[in-house]
Amino acid sequence: MTTNAVVINFNILNHSAAHLFTSGKTFTVDSFHLHGVKETFSTSIVVAEVCCMKFPSYKNNLFQYLLFCFFIYLMIGPFIESLPAAHIILDIILSATLILAVYAIHKKARLINGAIFLLVVTLSLMWIGSLGLIDLSDKVSRFLLCLYLIFLVYSFSKYIFSVKLVNSNLISAVLCLYLILGLLWGTMYSILEFMIPGSFKGDILAEGSTISNQLHYFYYFSYVTLTTLGYGDILPQTRQAAALCQTEAILGQFFTAVFVARLVGIQVAQQFSSNKGE
């Protein structure tokens, strides 16, 4: 039995690809269930209106949760530093953030097993150093943390350039990548200070009585450099430090140009495809 095209309204509940059901799009089906009566026929269904009610799922919002954890970690430090266990609290938040980061892209990244192993070793050494069990472990953990953050930068970048739909998840992933870059360079600054003491100078660094405190100051300096804000309270003192600083400043400008252009390009292509289907 052959019939003419049928115009219907779709009410899509919790559909993983609801964006594919755009208005005006034509589908060809062999069977259609209407009002409890199943009739077999060949027809074209034209989507006139789509009402998408997508129930939230924590697995679909991992990048938003990760972004929240990043902001908590970066903001809470100065407000709890007077507490006896402040460094333990910050290490807990950082550990949760790093674990959530790898979980957010575990289905989208290759070499995930190696990344998980690297994360486990990094966190183990970090906690050994935080508890004061082995003095060397804190220095080694910084190097491993740097490698892990490089993996996250690669995985997040690959994910962002593979997505074809602009949504809150993609925007959160871009923001997370920006914050990961700041952590990566801050960690590299701390490693350089380990290798070449005196690479950086500033009154605020003199206040960092512990390696952990200095790391947070280097994170602060990293984001000031990444955004090209440049307060001047921490200054590079060696050619190696200056090279890292200028590279991060240039990368911060490239990031804004490249990734904003990427988001705009996806949105324009998305809108063009939608208009073409009407």
The residue that leads in pLDDT, 175 or 110, is 175
Q: Is residue 276 part of a domain?
A: no
State whether 153 and 188 are in the same domain. Answer: yes
State whether 25 and 141 are in the same domain. Answer: no
| Tally of structural domains, the chain | 2
pTM given for the model: 0.74
Beta strands in the chain (DSSP E): 6-13, 26-34, 37-53, 200-201, 235-236
Q: Is residue 12 part of a domain?
A: yes
Percent of the chain with pLDDT over 90: 33
State whether 19 and 134 are in the same domain. Answer: no
Instruction: Give yes or no for a contact between 53 and 12, defined as CB atoms under 8 angstroms apart.
Output: yes
pLDDT of 161 strictly over 60:
yes
- The residues that bridge with 203 in the sheet, in sequence order, are none
Query: Which of 15, 38, 53 is the last residue in one of the domains?
Result: 53
pLDDT band for 275, please (50, 70, 90 cuts). Answer: low
State whether 31 and 82 are in the same domain. Answer: no
- Tokens standing for residue 195: 């290798």
Q: How many CB atoms lie within 10 A of CB 187?
A: 24
State whether 89 and 32 are in the same domain. Answer: no
* Residue 39 belongs to domain spanning: 6-53
Question: How many Å apart are CA 139 and CA 77, to the nearest integer?
Answer: 21
* Cα–Cα–Cα angle for 189, 179, 169, rounded to 5 degrees: 160
Among 64, 66, 87, 84, residue whose Cα is nearest residue 76 = 87
The CATH number linked to 190 is 1.10.287.70
What does the pLDDT read at residue 8? Answer: 46
- DSSP-assigned states of every residue in 7-35: EEEEEEES-TTGGGS-TT-EEEEEEEEET
Q: Is residue 132 part of a domain?
A: yes
What does the pLDDT read at residue 45? Answer: 43
pLDDT digits (tens, 9 = 90+) for 28-54: 444 344 444 344 444 444 444 444 444
Backbone dihedral region for residue 15 (phi beyond 0: left; psi -120 to 50: alpha; all else: beta): beta
The residue that leads in pLDDT, 186 or 260, is 186
State whether 28 and 101 are in the same domain. Answer: no
- The residues that bridge with 45 in the sheet, in sequence order, are 6, 27
State whether 118 and 255 are in the same domain. Answer: yes
Question: How many Å apart are CA 154 and CA 206, to the nearest integer?
Answer: 34
